[in-house]
Chains A and B, each alone.
Chain A
Amino acid sequence: MSGGVDSAVAAARAKDAGHDVTGVHLALARNPQTYRTGARGCCTLEDSRDARRAADVIGIPFYVWDMADEFHASVVDDFVDEYAAGRTPNPCLRCNEKIKFAAVLDRAVALGFDAVVTGHHARLGADGLLRRSVDLAKDQSYVLAVLTRAQLDRAVFPLGDSTKERVRAEAAERGLAVADKPDSHDICFIADGDTRGFLEGRLGSAPGDIVDGRTGARLGTHNGAYGYTIGQRKGLNLRVPAEDGRPRYVLSITPVTNTVTVGPREDLEVDTVTATRPIWHEASASVRCDVQLRAHGEVVPASVTVAAGELTARLETPARGVAAGQAIVAYRPDPGGDIVLGSATITAGTRESAHA
């Protein structure tokens, strides 16, 4: 229970469903004062109190579990390492994979609990299939697709059938004071939302070149390649304008040479995505389906093949802004909510067919 509205309503619903529910708040900050304060985000003392108050209203026991060390090792350090390696991590996904459905779940099972209930917006019904939430704008199946079958078997998501609006209304009906608490959006361990500043503090400044992907010409300098994300347009501060005057985008990041490569928008387009560490729930290792390449990103049809610990997706329409480190999640469209077939961590996006 983060102290937000979703987990509070999820806990209340689980209790109503007849489960013997215990509320757990995760203390993730080594020093709570260094994490975001105020109503947004997670891990503040205020959030812990909000969560406890919600548990009291619901009428369930409540405990704080100190997972600061695990969170630091598995999520924060991983986040920094991934950026240093030129990839773009998703810390929420990593937290689900390593903390909520691993460290927390393991401890809970050892203590005699059967499952972990969270306030994620996704559906996980009797058929055991993970599906998108009815509220597509709030859907979190993308950051849950990393869960294995064994993890899903011990997960309960009571909110997938409700819109966020409905969840808020229900929280108010239940007398939960968190009903109108703002949503958290940003990365909880970056207090001021300044990711680049956070990384610079961790990695130090490492000046290098920004080069043109087509000509190889040096267009400018940067203070650390980790400050850039594939597809980024703003904040490049290039001294040399493009000949055609069109905007340029980050195409790739090469940590070995500490270069950021930029180019025109069409050079961002990829039609083949390779990915590693696949989690695959589908019987067939080769399917036509939809793929999503980043959180809240567009969905494109593709042919996906899983073989030898690798996932390859041939996209039927090219996609832009495909960054290594993000997840590729495969969905089968379904009227009962698109079904997650599997996911993997993107290693590369390439262009095989010629530009149209």
Chain B
Amino acid sequence: MAYLDHAATTPMLPAALDAYATAARAIGNPSSLHAAGRSARRMVEESRERIAAVIGARPSEVIFTGGGTEADNLATKGVFWARRDADPGRRRVVVSAVEHHAVLDAVGWLGRHEGAEVTYLPVDGTGRVDPAGFAELVRAHGDETAVVSVQWANNEVGTVQPIAELAALAAGAGIPFHTDAVQAVGQVPVDFAGSGVAALTLTGHKLGGPVGVGALVLGRDVACTPLLHGGGQERDVRSGTLDTPGVVAFAVAVETTVRAREQYAERVAALRDELVRRVLAAVPDAIHNGDAEHRLPGNAHFSFPGCEGDALLLLLDAKGIYCSTGSACSAGVAQPSHVLLAMGADDARARSSLRFSLGHDSTEADLDALLAALPGAVERARRAGAWKTPR
């Protein structure tokens, strides 16, 4: 078995799991006033402080959510609503063309139902947004722009964006800038205050914490209309009883991965480079997608000409090699990746891609297993590639 899908979800760290189990044995709603509640509250607030400390934010800026998707929706919709309500002339939403669906579909919905005008920032062949193009857009449409969202790093091809540069341009025009840093935290240096962004998304299950808990780091002065109304537990921007054990384990995971980031990144990037080398040696016409320099350490992403990514996935799965064709699709029907298409790939190349993503427990043995299975799978998938031709 070789698990090469850490970008989809990565195993929980033992320390996070232990912290979860300990917290889950205790009773107490952090909103309760009695001793049990106070004890839960203390765990939550300590967790908030631990996360804030390692990502360069103030504790009050950390808003716990039910994961990355919720945080992305809250940032894009919530900031849009607040800014539009303050000035009806601000209806424009600017996002990169390679956002995760949690951002892309949220702003698509704003366009269809809330009168938002969505502008998609193009990317180059490696998946990077051009700051000059963004500067142009800010000059032309800054006044009418409600919110901007550009991911810190891409979940498919691993390309890291020039976030500080983009955020500075937005800040100069007074536009709140959100970044989805789900794939970035623990992989590349992420500093909320230092980057100048107004809002930042992170999630537990991509960095060794539990699924279903994440955070939106939201600057104190950024107005944001809630998605969820109720008890107002999180700064009145997010309601719902906090998941104390989830939050505690999340904080342990964030703290651990961010502190260990440098050694981790060095080791995993070396392993990744070896993976890329070996894959290109075994399948010489494979194309390695993405940016060589601005890239997540654990990400390798290829197009295998003549193959359906779908077919490769099935064949590798049968050999115990777990990887991904890009973003999973709810109906299970493989769509050509919008990320690859935005990078200028044609339909066939987009459909022929596969992502291998490494994590903290990846080893050389995973590479050996992959390379033992890959050449045969590619050959088979190529033969199966002809199936689309009409009879």
Which residues of A are interface residues toward B (Cβ below 8 A)?
22, 25, 27, 32, 45, 48, 52, 61-66, 69-70, 73-74, 98, 102-103, 106-107, 110-112
Q: Which residues of B contact A64 (CB under 8 A)?
A: 331-334
Among residues of A, the one whose C-beta sits closest to the C-beta of B315 is A111
Would you call B137 an interface residue if the criterion is a C-beta within 8 Å of the partner chain's C-beta atoms? Answer: no
- Chain B: residues with Cβ within 8 Å of the partner, total of 21
CB-contacts of B291-321 with A (<8 A)? 310-311, 314-315, 317-318
Q: In the assembled complex, how far is the CB of residue B13 from the closest CB belonging to chain A, in whole angstroms?
A: 28
Which residues of B are interface residues toward A (Cβ below 8 A)?
310-311, 314-315, 317-318, 330-334, 380-381, 383-388, 390-391
A48 near B380 (CB under 8 angstroms)?
A: no
Write 13 A-B pairs (CB below 8 A) sorted by A numbering. A22-B314, A25-B332, A62-B332, A64-B332, A64-B333, A74-B390, A98-B391, A106-B387, A110-B385, A110-B387, A111-B311, A112-B315, A112-B380
Total A-B residue contacts, Cβ distance less than 8 Å: 55
Q: Which residues of A contact B331 (CB under 8 A)?
A: 27, 32, 45, 48, 64
Q: In the assembled complex, how far is the CB of residue A57 from the closest CB belonging to chain B, in whole angstroms?
A: 17
Q: In the assembled complex, how far is the CB of residue A21 from the closest CB belonging to chain B, in whole angstroms?
A: 11
Q: How far is the CA of A64 from the CA of B314 in the complex (A)?
A: 11
Q: In the assembled complex, how far is the CB of residue B139 from the closest CB belonging to chain A, in whole angstroms?
A: 40
Q: Which residues of B contact A66 (CB under 8 A)?
A: 333-334
B384 near A111 (CB under 8 angstroms)?
A: yes
A110-B391 in contact given A63-B332, A64-B331 (Cβ < 8 Å): no
Among residues of B, the one whose C-beta sits closest to the C-beta of A111 is B384
A107-B332 in contact given A61-B314, A63-B310 (Cβ < 8 Å): no
Among residues of A, the one whose C-beta sits closest to the C-beta of B334 is A66
Q: How far is the CA of A98 from the CA of B387 in the complex (A)?
A: 12
Candidates A52, A110, A112; contact of B332 at CB < 8 Å:
A52
Q: Which residues of A contact B314 (CB under 8 A)?
A: 22, 61, 63, 111
B390 near A110 (CB under 8 angstroms)?
A: no
Q: In the assembled complex, how far is the CB of residue B265 from the closest CB belonging to chain A, in whole angstroms?
A: 33
Q: Which residues of A contact B383 (CB under 8 A)?
A: 110
B380 near A27 (CB under 8 angstroms)?
A: no
Candidates B317, B318, B330, B384; contact of A110 at CB < 8 Å:
B384
Q: In the assembled complex, how far is the CB of residue A14 from the closest CB belonging to chain B, in whole angstroms?
A: 16
Q: How far is the CA of A208 from the CA of B63 in the complex (A)?
A: 70
Q: In the assembled complex, how far is the CB of residue A44 from the closest CB belonging to chain B, in whole angstroms?
A: 10
Q: How far is the CA of A278 from the CA of B29 in the complex (A)?
A: 74
Among residues of A, the one whose C-beta sits closest to the C-beta of B308 is A107
Q: Which residues of A contact B311 (CB under 8 A)?
A: 107, 111
Interface centre among A27, A66, A74, A98 (most CB of B within 10 A): A66
Q: How far is the CA of A72 from the CA of B334 in the complex (A)?
A: 18
B333 near A111 (CB under 8 angstroms)?
A: no
A73 near B390 (CB under 8 angstroms)?
A: yes
Q: In the assembled complex, how far is the CB of residue A56 from the closest CB belonging to chain B, in whole angstroms?
A: 13
Q: Which residues of A contact B388 (CB under 8 A)?
A: 69-70
